Structure 1
Amino acid sequence: MPKSKKESILFTSIMCFMMVFGMSAYNLLLHNAFTWGSLFGGLVPGIIVAFILDTWVVGKIAKGIAFKLPISREKMIYMILTISTLMVTGMVLCMSLFGVVFEGGIQEDMGKLYLEAIGFNFIAALPLQLLVVGPISRFILGSYQKRQAVQS
């Protein structure tokens, strides 16, 4: 886990990039609209919004809830799974709204579209986070931390 502000920014940046990339590709494929242009066209705004939400809103709430739950801190995996699940839940709620508005603007059937997006996004985001993005992000951070320790 990140031990400094610099490591936290690195970890969050990696996590946001991979999640936004993966979820954007998933949503475009889901709606038969995938092109590399459309994927990269929405990537930068998505990463910026995800980074801001992760850093200043969802991350703070998720960690606040996780540390209040009666979870054993002896095994780090329990805390990682709890925080990851809470983060995915919060980010899916926020980023689904962002995606619906970004792709189609404010629409008459916005509530229906938003609820559908939440359902479709949650079933993809949770396994993506727990099985792919989280482990890769922690591996990259761990490698960075080892290099920093050797240089010190």
Structure 2
Amino acid sequence: MPKTKFQNVIFTLIMAAIMVYGMIVYNVALNTGGVSNQTFLLALHEMPIMFPIAFILEFFVVEKLATRLAFTFMRPTDRPQFITYAISLMIVCIMCPVMSLIATLLFKPISFGTWIHTFGCNLPMALLWQMLYCGPLTRLIFRTLFRKQLAKKTQEAAAAQ
């Protein structure tokens, strides 16, 4: 969806914020034995640590790698939304183990087993959160913010054909 580097930065900031917050809420709920109003406040304490890490990883490393991986089974001529879904799936498949490792190193007793357990608990939630809520919400926010620029680019592309 983003057409410029600036738009890509904004899109990634929105995506990382929503994805990280949702996953932190989930992990706080796992660690405290349930969800309460306090869970949402506790999750905010980890945001200043995990959000910048997720943004940097996503923007500089994972997006390019995930796109390359997605195009190992997708073609450029496939429907754009399916390409978006494939890239999103690949991003989760890369980010989830990496962010689970970082969370383990920062917040849990460090062991291979703890990391694997954290990753195993996080992967199903990360996939569902990304595909059903975070991704669509991020794209909606992004389209709303850049409605005029995106419409102009679409018109220019149609005129060029």
TM-score by length of 2: 0.84
Aligned residue identity for 2:79: K
- 1:117 corresponds in structure 2 to 118
Aligned residue identity for 1:3: K
Q: 1:42 and 2:46 equivalent?
A: yes
Higher-Rg structure is 2
Change (3 A) 1:35 1:131: closer
What residue ranges of structure 1 are gaps of 5+ in the alignment? none
Change (3 A) 1:81 1:150: closer
More off after superposition, 110-119 vs 69-78: 69-78
More off after superposition, 89-98 vs 139-148: 139-148
- 1:126 corresponds in structure 2 to 127
- 1:85 corresponds in structure 2 to 89
Aligned residue identity for 2:147: K
Q: After TM superposition, what 4+ stretches of structure 1 lie above 2 angstroms from structure 2?
A: 33-38, 67-74, 147-152
Aligned residue identity for 2:21: F
RMSD, matched Cα: 2.1
Q: How high is the sequence identity, in percent, across the aligned residues? A: 30
What residue ranges of structure 2 are gaps of 5+ in the alignment? 154-161
Q: Is the 8 A contact 1:72 1:78 kept in 2?
A: no
- Shift in Å, 1:145: 2.3
- Shift in Å, 1:40: 1.6
CA distance in 2, matches of 1:128, 1:149: 26
Q: Is the 8 A contact 2:21 2:47 kept in 1?
A: yes
- 1:27 corresponds in structure 2 to 27
Q: 1:61 and 2:97 equivalent?
A: no
Corresponding residue pairs, total: 149
Q: 1:73 and 2:72 equivalent?
A: no
2:55 to 47, 51, 64: 51
- Shift in Å, 1:58: 1.4
Q: Deviations over 1:99-150 (max 9, x none)?
A: 1111126x3xx11011011111101000100010100111111122213367
Aligned residue identity for 1:30: L
Q: Is the 8 A contact 2:143 2:150 kept in 1?
A: no
Aligned residue identity for 1:125: A
